[in-house]
């Protein structure tokens, strides 16, 4: 068996010195590294293994490092399970899934014996996944600390909790964590992957085939990325070597049965088509997202993520004056051109606006006044480039401002009154009267939120949407 060859490699290495990785296949080398760390006698003194070392540290009172080393064994055992699973060796994969649970059990025994809370328990989701796949009961503990929202371990841990239990999926803490992730500037694609699992758990795909097609796209995208974390996430070369264990647990939770590369126990070769023998029917119900309310005094949602969520939710069912649905989504051929179009008018370093305009043709986002429209990079009524040039050359608008909305019935140089303007310097939106354009500083200093200044373009659009909702209701 392969494990015998790996263990023999340990013995040769101990006797003759370091092995030559170039003479081993990539998968054998990865297995060798993890077997050596988990089971090899590599630790001084006496050539003891990591389990023996951890127990020795605990006996000596070095609890922090001892607990850390046992927690690491949970991760390494699961990593071995995933590598064997990826090679189709389900028997060895099960051996190390059970090793994962055994090491977790010992970890919690130590914590309980010494009344020690396990801080930052990022390895625990591996034990939860092993329990889910093997149909074992996961023994939770009050000594497991909390993970911080907005970080990758939190998402993995929460997904595994939902795979293990009958709870309804609460979208509110999930969205809070997504918002925190976004504010931290972490990769958007990773959140999209986690969102995919939520969609599967809550039955948001019309067909099982559509679900698997989306997962195949996810795996293909991972294979084209450089590994940005560790092997277990399956990026780059690792996409062909390991299993998407989160998806496998999700499939188990929703009651799907069949054969698929990323399923347990009936796995298959990389790129093989899924074969369904039982359609999923145990989807989670959801606890609806509580939408942020605009500030009672200003009518503004200042937080960018909350403002965007408000926009997205209401535009899913936007209705015109006749009660007909008006879809504001931007067509695919324009999405890739938005950044260049905005840059051409000097609208840069505003990723929230860029993402909003890539998603929506903002000209089709309704307001409470039928003749008032938002300017769009490719607008038919108000084209941002043309209207900006017009306002600068014909109306005396300072170059630091971009006209972002207008009345399509009276767009002339002699139009007086207030105009909605985006200011490049501070990236805020102002409602400035034409007579203030020559010297806008005084008007800017006296502007008040909700009356004539908004903290961002996205917040302004959320306010714009709210005006339409108010009128419609």
For the sheet containing 401-403, what is the strand order?
401-403, 418-423, 428-433, 453-454
Q: What is the pLDDT of residues 226-236, one digit of tens each?
A: 765 568 899 99
How do beta strands 428-433 and 453-454 pair? antiparallel
All structural domains of the chain, each given as residue ranges with its CATH number in brackets, are 1-146 (no CATH), 166-290 (no CATH), 304-472 (3.40.1580.10)
Please give the share of the chain, as a percent, with pLDDT higher than 90. Answer: 72
Residue 192 has pLDDT above 50, yes or no: yes
How do beta strands 428-433 and 405-407 pair? unpaired
Residue 406: the pLDDT is 80
Q: What is the pLDDT of residues 85-109, one digit of tens each?
A: 999 999 999 999 999 999 999 999 9
Residue 352 has pLDDT above 80, yes or no: yes
Phi, psi (rounded to 5 degrees) for 436: -95, -5
pLDDT tier, 416 (very low <50, low <70, confident <90, very high otherwise): low
Residue 293 has pLDDT above 80, yes or no: yes
Residue 312 CA to residue 315 CA, distance in Å, equals: 5
Q: What is the pLDDT of residues 32-90, one digit of tens each?
A: 889 989 998 877 667 899 999 999 999 999 999 999 999 999 999 999 999 999 999 99
Residue 473: the pLDDT is 59
**Two structure tokens written together for 456:** 């961002």
Residue 4: the pLDDT is 56
Residue 393 has pLDDT above 80, yes or no: yes
pTM metric for this prediction: 0.74
Is the separation of the CB atoms in 385 and 377 below 8 Å?
Answer: yes
Average pLDDT across the chain, whole number: 90
Residue 310 has pLDDT above 60, yes or no: yes
Q: Can you tell me the mean pLDDT for 283-300?
A: 90
Report the alpha-carbon angle 394-405-395, nearest 5. Answer: 10
Residue 203 has pLDDT above 90, yes or no: yes
Residue 315 has pLDDT above 60, yes or no: yes
Whether the link from the prior residue into 265 is cis, omega within 30° of 0, is yes
Residue 135 CA to residue 149 CA, distance in Å, equals: 28
Residue 136 has pLDDT above 60, yes or no: yes
Residue 461 CA to residue 447 CA, distance in Å, equals: 18
Residue 250 CA to residue 243 CA, distance in Å, equals: 13
**Two structure tokens written together for 248:** 């496998």
Beta bridge partners of 430: 421, 453
Q: Can you tell me the mean pLDDT for 270-284?
A: 96
Q: What is the 3-state composition of the chain as percent helix, strand, coil, each rounded to the nearest 5?
A: 50, 10, 40
Residue 339 CA to residue 378 CA, distance in Å, equals: 12
Residue 364 has pLDDT above 90, yes or no: yes
Residue 214: the pLDDT is 97
Beta bridge partners of 230: none
Q: Can you tell me the mean pLDDT for 311-315?
A: 93
Residue 261 CA to residue 270 CA, distance in Å, equals: 6
pLDDT tier, 241 (very low <50, low <70, confident <90, very high otherwise): very high
How do beta strands 418-423 and 401-403 pair? antiparallel
Write the DSSP string, 293-350: PPPTTT----SHHHHHHHHHHHHTT-B-TTS-B---BPPHHHHTTHHHHHHHTT--S-
Q: What is the pLDDT of residues 455-471, one digit of tens each?
A: 999 999 999 999 888 66
Residue 447 CA to residue 75 CA, distance in Å, equals: 55
Q: 232-241: list long-range contacts, CB under 8 Å, 24+ apart.
A: 232/75, 232/78, 232/79, 232/82, 237/26, 240/86, 240/270, 241/26, 241/27, 241/30, 241/83, 241/86, 241/87
Q: Can you tell me the mean pLDDT for 295-311?
A: 92
Residue 308, Cβ density class (10 Å: 0-12 exposed, 13-18 middle, ≥19 buried): buried
Residue 126 has pLDDT above 70, yes or no: yes
Residue 16: the pLDDT is 32
Pick left, alpha or beta for residue 275 (phi over 0 → left; psi -120 to 50 → alpha; otherwise beta).
beta
Residue 320: the pLDDT is 87
Q: What is the pLDDT of residues 418-454, one digit of tens each?
A: 889 999 999 999 999 888 999 999 999 999 997 899 9
DSSP, collapsed to helix, strand or coil, labels residue 145 as: coil
Residue 41: the pLDDT is 82
Residue 321 CA to residue 34 CA, distance in Å, equals: 64
* 231: Cβ contacts below 8 Å, ≥ 6 apart: 30, 79, 83, 238, 241, 242
Residue 160: the pLDDT is 98
Residue 338 has pLDDT above 50, yes or no: yes
Query: Hey, how many other C-beta atoms are within 10 angstroms of the C-beta on 359?
Result: 17
Residue 13: the pLDDT is 45
Residue 237 CA to residue 223 CA, distance in Å, equals: 6
Is the separation of the CB atoms in 79 and 100 below 8 Å?
Answer: no
Give, as one character, the DSSP assignment of residue 275.
Answer: E
When comparing pLDDT for 142 and 9, which is higher?
142
Least confident among 17-21, 182-186, 335-339: 17-21
Q: Can you tell me the mean pLDDT for 217-225?
A: 93
Q: What is the pLDDT of residues 6-24, one digit of tens each?
A: 555 544 444 334 566 667 8
Sign of CA dihedral 330, 332, 334, 338: positive
Residue 42: the pLDDT is 78
Residue 408: the pLDDT is 65
Residue 292 has pLDDT above 90, yes or no: no
Residue 276, Cβ density class (10 Å: 0-12 exposed, 13-18 middle, ≥19 buried): middle
Q: Can you tell me the mean pLDDT for 261-265?
A: 97
Residue 413: the pLDDT is 45
How do beta strands 286-287 and 428-433 pair? unpaired
């Amino acid at each position: 068996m392969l494990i015998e060859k790996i263990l023999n490699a340990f013995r040769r290495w101990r006797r003759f010195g370091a092995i030559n990785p170039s003479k081993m296949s990539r998968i054998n080398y990865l297995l060798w590294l993890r077997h050596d760390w988990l089971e090899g006698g590599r630790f001084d003194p006496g050539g003891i293994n990591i389990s023996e070392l951890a127990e020795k540290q605990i006996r000596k009172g070095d609890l922090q490092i001892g607990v850390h080393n046992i927690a690491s064994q949970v991760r390494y055992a699961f990593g071995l399970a995933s590598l064997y699973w990826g090679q189709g060796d389900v028997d060895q994969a099960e051996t190390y899934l059970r090793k994962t649970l055994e090491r977790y059990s010992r970890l919690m025994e130590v914590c309980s014996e010494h009344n020690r809370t396990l801080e930052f328990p990022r390895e625990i989701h591996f034990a939860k996944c092993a329990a889910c796949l093997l149909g074992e009961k996961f023994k939770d503990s009050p000594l497991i600390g909390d993970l911080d929202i907005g970080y990758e371990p939190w998402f993995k841990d929460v997904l595994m909790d939902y795979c293990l239990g009958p709870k309804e999926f609460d979208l509110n803490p999930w969205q809070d964590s997504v918002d925190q992730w976004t504010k931290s500037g972490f990769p958007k694609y990773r959140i999209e992957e986690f969102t995919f699992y939520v969609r599967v758990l809550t039955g948001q795909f019309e067909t099982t085939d559509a679900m698997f097609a989306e997962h195949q796209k996810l795996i293909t995208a991972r294979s084209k990325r450089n590994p940005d974390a560790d092997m277990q996430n399956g990026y780059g070369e690792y996409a062909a070597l390991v299993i998407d264990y989160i998806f496998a647990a999700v499939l188990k939770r929703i009651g799907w049965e069949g054969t698929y590369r990323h399923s347990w126990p009936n796995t298959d070769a990389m790129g093989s088509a899924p074969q369904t023998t039982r359609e999923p029917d145990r989807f989670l119900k959801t606890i609806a997202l509580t939408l942020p309310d605009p500030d009672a005094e200003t009518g503004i949602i200042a937080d960018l993520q909350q403002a965007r969520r408000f926009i997205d939710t209401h535009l899913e069912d936007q209705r015109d004056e006749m009660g007909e649905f008006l879809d504001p989504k931007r067509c695919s051929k324009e999405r890739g051109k938005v950044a260049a179009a905005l840059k051409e008018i000097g609208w840069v370093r505003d990723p929230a606006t860029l993402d909003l305009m890539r998603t929506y043709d903002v000209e089709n986002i309704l307001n409470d006044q039928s003749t008032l429209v938002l300017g769009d990079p490719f607008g038919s009524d108000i084209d941002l480039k043309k209207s900006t040039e017009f306002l600068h050359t014909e109306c005396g608008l300072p170059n630091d401002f971009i006209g972002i909305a207008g009345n399509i019935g009276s767009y002339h140089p002699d139009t007086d009154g207030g105009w909605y303007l985006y200011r490049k310097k501070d990236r805020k939106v102002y409602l400035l009267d034409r007579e203030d354009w020559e010297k806008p500083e005084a008007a800017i200093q006296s502007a008040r939120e909700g009356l004539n200044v908004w903290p961002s373009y996205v917040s302004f659009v959320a306010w714009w949407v709210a005006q339409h909702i108010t009128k419609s209701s």
